[in-house]
Chain A
Amino acid sequence: MSPDRSILVPARASTIIASFALALFLDFLPWRDLRLVPDFVALVLAFWCVRQPRLVGLGIAWALGLVSDAGNGVLLGQHALAYSVLAFLAIWMSRRILWFGPGQQALHVAVILLAAQGVVLLVRLAAGDQFPGWPIVVGPLAGAALWPMLSWLLLLPQRRPEREQTI
């Protein structure tokens, strides 16, 4: 698969904010088994860190992590730490990731999401919780599988009509 070479309109802040609000909304839906559902906030955060490392960075990742912690009633700082690591990895690998097609991008993102999940796991084990079983790796992998669809969806507002591109 070849990477997308079309020229995009600069991303608007409103698009980014709306996508984060939607991701938080999806995270708060009453899911049946939480271990199998991807963390949508982490996924959207990884997307913007890869695409717009100048706009979305570690500060936003940290703040989103705090909001996620408070909303889910878990240890304050656990998601903040995980999202900071995730944002760092995504920014660090952003130039490399954009060189690949959607499928290989998803493989990179799987590694990033698994690293973030690993940080959460380490924090919880250190806080004295039990290991919740191997299904917790399913969430990040499912998130990576959603990556091609998500990147197509989130790039829609930035695409120009065909007619303009040919000029």
Chain B
Amino acid sequence: MEHSPPPFFKRGPAPLVRLFFFASLSLALLVLDARFRYTEAVRGALALVVYPIQRIAVAPIDFLEGVGGYFSSQSQLLDENAALRAQALANSQDALRFQAAQAESAQLRRMLGAAEKLEARAMPAEILYAGRDPYSHKVFIDRGGRHGVRPGSPVADDSGVVGQVTRVHALLSEVTLLTDPDQAIPVQVLRNGLRAVAFGGGNSGMLELRFMPANAEIQNGDRLVTSGIDGTYPAGLPVATVVDIERDAEHTFARVICRPAAGVDRGLFVLVLSDDTQRAARPDDVQPGKGRRLDKTRRARIKEAAREPAKAEATDVAR
């Protein structure tokens, strides 16, 4: 004990040793995160630590907007008011028509015995900031698990789908934008119902339809909406417009480039859509022991479904 050097000579382990220690620690974390996703708790805690700094970073912009709004002149407000009133009138007519159409389609659907279209609940949220990562396209919104956001919920703005919630922290959540190269969304051409899957185009800010046959019936200006097949996105939300098609005889597939309908890279407010309806269990979730009983019920259900259209028609006639 007496032979240890005086404290002012102690410098700890050599820098190279430290580098190896921290590099191996980082690599271990990387593997745990990328392969197994074991680090969500650590990530959530760290995100909470950074949260105040993030709020402060966005505060000056909010403040400037607030000041700008305060000093907007009265005539501007009056003009805006008149315009909004006219728009509300037009919208109310549209809304009436929409209600009628919805009732009609619900009736038709019931007659067809199809599943009820899922009702979506919308929660407004504000975009806090974009992730500092040129390799992916993510934004962070100010609603988290505390407010009832769940991972996988679709996110939209007033003109279309923006992306999907991929990670939920306590007070904020991470939204992967449609333009992220790893993000895919099932779509349908509004004109003819052609189904496809749109993938993010990365830094170009565009979407791409992959695996479309060269003779697919699609043309410039076609509007794409969600098909709702995946059960994640509600059907009928605008997604993109086709802007460029390259059909090359050398390639099996056509190259279809589309521009997102929503303000994916601009805008400050979004809606987080979520549905509370209970969906049927996927085939993977069904336990093997219960297979037979489920089969029986399914057969019974088919029988019932066969009977139901007749019943629906009967009630219609009665009406």
Contact = CB atoms under 8 A, between A and B. Distances in A.
B1 interface: no
B29 A76 contact: yes
A72 B26 contact: no
A71 B54 contact: yes
Interface stretch (B42-50, B76-84, B98-106, B253-261): B42-50
Given A70-B46, A76-B42, A124 B135 contact: yes
B129 A30 contact: yes
Contact of A80 (B26, B32, B49, B53): B26
Contacts of A88: 15-16, 18-19
A99 interface: no
Contacts of B23: 81, 84-85
Interface string B1-30: 000000000010001101101110111111
B47 A70 contact: yes
A123 to B, nearest CB: 6
B26 A77 contact: yes
Interface residues of A, number: 47
Could you tell me the dominant secondary structure of chain A's interface residues?
A: helix
B202 interface: yes
B50 A30 contact: no
Could you tell me the dominant secondary structure of chain B's interface residues?
A: helix
Contacts of B138: 73
Contacts of B202: 130, 132
A30 B130 contact: yes
Contacts of B26: 62, 65, 77-78, 80-81, 84
B133 interface: yes
Nearest to A54: B11
A75 interface: yes
Nearest to A124: B135
Contact of A25 (B15, B33, B57, B132): B57
Contact of B203 (A71, A75, A132): A132
Contacts of B46: 66-67, 69-71
Interface of B: 11, 15-16, 18-19, 21-23, 25-30, 32-34, 39, 42-43, 46-47, 49-50, 53-54, 56-58, 61, 129-136, 138, 140, 167, 174, 181, 202-203
21 contacts: A21-B53, A25-B57, A28-B54, A30-B130, A34-B133, A58-B15, A58-B19, A62-B22, A67-B49, A70-B42, A73-B167, A74-B131, A75-B30, A76-B30, A76-B39, A76-B42, A76-B43, A78-B26, A80-B25, A84-B26, A132-B202
